[in-house]
Structure 1
Amino acid sequence: MPTVSTTPNPWNRRAAADLTSRAAELSAVGSGLLRLVEEAESRVKAVYEAERRRIVDEQLSKMPLERLKNAVGRNVRLGVVGAAGLRTVGDALRVGRAGLERIHGVGSVTSNGIISAAREMAAALRDGATVRFDVDARPSEQTALLIALRTLDLARHSVEPLRAKIEKVVGAIDADIDTARIAANRIRRFFAGQERRRQGAAALNRLEALLEDQATVGLQEDIRAAHVRIAAGQRQGRPPTQSTASTARRQRTTAGDRGRHGRPLLGIHRRGPEATAAVWADYMARPVEYYGLLVEIAGLEADIYKPGAGGPSDPCAGRIAIGPVERPDPIAPTARPPEVTVLSAEDPMVSPRFPTVEHIPAEIVAKIRNLDLDTSLLRASLRGYQLFGAKFAVVQRRTILGDEMGLGKTIEALAVMCHLRASGARHFLVICPASVLINWEREIKRHSQLEPIWRLHGPRRTDLLRHWVRSGGIAITTFDTLKRLHHPQLEIGAGIIDEAHFVKNMDAQRTRTARRWLDRTECALLMTGTPMENRVEELRTLIRHVQPDVARKLGRYLQPEEFRSKVASVYLRRNQEDVLTELPDKIETTDWVEFNDPAAAVYRQAVAEGNFQLMRRAAFMTPNPADSPKLQRLTEIAEEAASNGRKVIVFSFFLDVVQRTQTALRRLAGRIAITGSVSPTIRQQLIDEFSSPEGPAVLVSQIEAGGSGLNIQAASVVILTEPQWKPSTEEQAIARAHRLGQVRPVEVHRLLVDDSVDALMLDVLAHKSSLFDSYARMSALKNAAPEAIDPRTAEQCIVEYERRRLGLAA
């Protein structure tokens, strides 16, 4: 605190007035800066509600008046109203009761019935209205909402670091300013007694010392810089950075001068096309941050600890689990998937916004609620479901996070490590496939202050291991490299296994190695969006890695409901449709083609030879690529997407299919395709090259090389060239694009040949998907099968079936 003189200090009126004026100005500008955040939050709420009203009004304006027929009763004359030119529910609400009753033949019964039903319809639409930013149409109302969100983001980044200092200085000024004004006002000074004049002089001395203190002088500079940062960031369309802050310190702009008088700058925006382009570009670069702010300010997430109260107004109520796309069944009807039942929002494993009902023990919920997660080292905002997941992992210590792909499991793992680091842990280990090693390093740097980061991979892995042991930090390594590392004698605060389905086989060396490292960690977190791909035993194996006691209680023939109750203390899963209401739609299309003569000849030969893999790719491997029916359809889809400025990613299991596709689409495709021989570094470079520029592009990839662990939200069209044996393989591939951060609807095209191996494989895939729904996805399913079909057995059956169908049986 500044040193204050205690000796008598006579102040003349002019000097006292100048000092109190400067003190009042600093108090006003400081308080005004603090109000910027609150004003920005209020602005977001107001613009958001206006956009929701616009959405509802638009829906009502398109809703035929006949939709009210079942709600208004027999005595309401809808036909007369429609004949008068009021065709929609919106028309009726616009004219109101008085307007309806001006129509010949319409009385109070009809007008009251229509208006009451219309208002109920409008209320139901408001409850379910969801704002999804349209990056193509860019309506002005959504532009205004994005500007409000960006302003709030800028205000928070600029104001929050200064809040405590400003509040302290403003408090000191406000405590003395009224008393100090005695010396600045001739009349008040004349009538004040000697003691009050002495108090006024002392208050002036304190204010003078405060204003001349270097900390206060620096704070004034910071406040002016904050105003400039907000204005500059609004103009440039990016979040504030240290460089813009340092530049702002040197500037005395009009915006800064206005800020000194405490007038908020939130109304200063560039107007017109430049402003629109800037804010939409910023949104497309940071959609997760924008939606995170909107969810927080608009209160879009329910209490994560509250038991579900699903009802008509709950957007998750009555969700239906969708089975495979219907198609002609070429073989026995017994292969059809089991019936799927309606899911209620009251099921915590289905609607993760209510994860406390029934299955998660009450004592665990209480511990999660009471845990104050320390996110001081985290640079990202956590959504409600992510906060719950991170706290669940910290409380339970050894868990499996089975969230569907694209929900941000990496951020949840970082939140766990940040909390443990703040609590004193020093060493952390991340084990992952080589394909996502670089992505993990990037995510740690981008979203946390955890350091140092050691990439234990390549020729220097042993040296870097020693550095990690000595210095602490996060070590990132791959499943294969882990087998070559000597386990040091140290306490590991947390061990994270990403894509944990890689360690589901207890007989594999990488599984045994990973298990040895996990057994020595204080906290273990297994992350996978596909905990079970072929058999229920796979999920049981993962549980055995982290909680052997729980695994031992899982009998071989448990029913799904009993199974999920027993694993609730260790396994947590949330699905996209339940927590990401803002996620754009996923539009799945089955593109059936027919064999032409060249493709049919290749297929027939493959069947005769019993070459199952060639059967799968026969529609691509015609002697002349121009004759390939699948390649023709694929090219049509890619070129249509390109004409609309969309980016496309093509997945195939087969290297020769990837190569043919890359050649056929060379005008749009990148320099090379992603295959198993491409290093993780080059793989990430290809994704960056694909994602960075505006406009159309195609990325071709082997599904095993690029179909898991990578973020490719730039793509909004996904093409799968053939069915895969594991449902999770296709789901993982689609989730590269349809995930948190996607801003466009994602089109998924599956290329299939009728009367071929493709159709037969779908039946096997449907069987596996049903099994996963019962046990791992935690949806309710009738008549779940206890085991899935072994792919090798299925291949033999399919070959024999096709031989008989084509008359090729020996």
Structure 2
Amino acid sequence: MAAQGQRRSGSTRSPQRNRRRAQDNEGIIPVLAKAVRAVETGVQKGRVERARFQVIALLVREERARLKGDESLTDAERDAQLKRLDGIATILAQTAAREPSLFALLAEDAEMTEATRHFKREMQLAAGLEPSADTVEPRRNGATAVRSERQVVPQSVIRAQLANPFMVPDFSAAPPRIQEHRLAGWELIGPLLNSFEHATPGVSSCMDLPEPRPAMLPAGLELMGHQARLVAAVGDGHRTFLLADEPGLGKTAQSLLAAHAAAAYPLLVVVPNVVKTNWAREAARWTPSKTVSVVHGDGLDVDGFADIIVVNYEILDRHVGWIGEHGFRGMIVDEAHFIKNKKSQRSQNVLEIADRIRRRVARPLMMALTGTPLINDVDDFRTIWQFLGWIDEKKPGPLLMAKLEENGMTPADFGFYPAARQAVVDMGIVRRRKVDVAADIPARRIADLPVELDEADSRSIRDAERELAARLVKRYDSAVEARREHRGVEVDGIDHELVRRVAGWELADAEDDSSGDNVFAMVRRIGRAKAALAADYAAQLVRSAGKVVFFAKHLDVMDTAAEVFAKRDIRYTEIRGDQSATARTKAIDAFVKDPEVGVIVCSLTAAGVGINLQVASNVVLSELSWTNAEQTQAIDRVHRIGQTEPVTAWRIIAAQTIDARIADLIDSKAGLAARALDGATEEETTTADVRLEALVSLLTDSLAARG
């Protein structure tokens, strides 16, 4: 009995037996066994973890090869470990039998996704192993880089993936078979680029577009002719576009309606941060039946079930993993010249997502939007063409190659180049200038561009607005209480006359108050907070559309804008209130006559009247005026007799602040004046009007909110 107890205690076990037990509980096999059971259970419950399934198959294969080559193991030890791997492989096969789509992942040549690399690295680390080289992502430029450690998967996205764990790939349209192979040995990317660099003067850069067709649009909206033509092309089946219309011709609306016509949902929209909020607003405006969600930071509040998801370049690296697996059927890249540098991370992220979308959908809608596809030289086309799938790293894609084969020539033939250029244009280049479609658009328009402020600035401004609203409510309540005590008057609901009187008191106090705790100081803070964003957008316009007039009310905003332009290597001049007449004239002449000067930074009060800046057709209003008359006078420095192009004034609005209220009030006052007095001057709307109405609106909303 004692001997039996001694044997059970394990004190007399052989070293070989202890070694086997240690091997059973260490290394990669226990990790794989646990993981394969989790995947099996998930499939039984209708949840398919494709990336984890593929990783298990890869690691089983690698571990099997390692065991067979490990000479330190005895035959018995090797056989035992191989038997355990066989058990895991059996579960994989049984799981794939339940979900046949997984069989493709068992193949040795199955391509690893970003999620697969992530899980492989995770399992290797859990097993105490050094991550293998293939968890370091290869880059297209030949270098390697580890994916950002800040990769995130928002909870709403996880719920969406669980609700629809496997979106069936759409391979209904196979690429054309290339009948001839005359061009197989030719280097073609260089000749394609040269065909644009040395194009015949006056040759069109726009594909043939069909005639406009009637379209069901939201009430109050209508398409211009040039916009309707592109949507009609989508209706005819075209799916890739380099939409290079000049700014102000409605590229956003065209692309959103193109996605609707192609049923390209869910749709991914990648944009600069400065226009992210505007894209969400425009999507809600043009396609109100589709849900829109904007990704901020780590995407904690993103809606994974949304039809349209908008994300900015700056945070794309955190979201590449889940975006590539989400099942998008369309992708729009705004300001596509941002990806011209193929070595930049933003370009690599965009190209990777585009490739992964094409692997799941044979003909997704892919759109690159930019007013200036070429900034430095013709080579800027490369990344955009690659994003659209027209070329890969070294050669044309199947569709473009088929078009080039059809013309019967090679780069040795002179006629190859115009034919090749036309072949690329026909792939989907759409380029219209304002002057070409002037009959379709208003001679002058104001476009609001909402921007998101820095988080700290936004929080501070919202707090100040709440404090102002609370002070107004307190004043109102005190007035109501005074009426009750002294006159016995009870107020039922909101006394709108009293609201206006309270707002008037606040306005009078603010004009005499230098402490900064008032509506004037708040609006000025907003102006400072959005100054860099406004200047950044102006810089984009300079690159894409030419000269820009930048208006601001305050000198510190002008200074911030000047710093941004200097950093962007954009030459600028300034008109300030403290300039001499000579300096002012010199600044205007430089802007008007020197083609290298891209921006003139103007004080709204000093440059609002008396100067002619019609050399530009784009105006950026970085700070709001207190009257429509002041705003109109600023725009009229550009929109005046002699202007040959339609004028667009971009009014920068700080989202979720009193800025939006002020913009609406300016517009409503202007509309009222126009309706009331045909031909009357807009000076009827005084400065006090808008300031007073802004306070009235703020107080009324606060009173209504408390019930």
Tell me the TM-score normalized by structure 2. Answer: 0.35
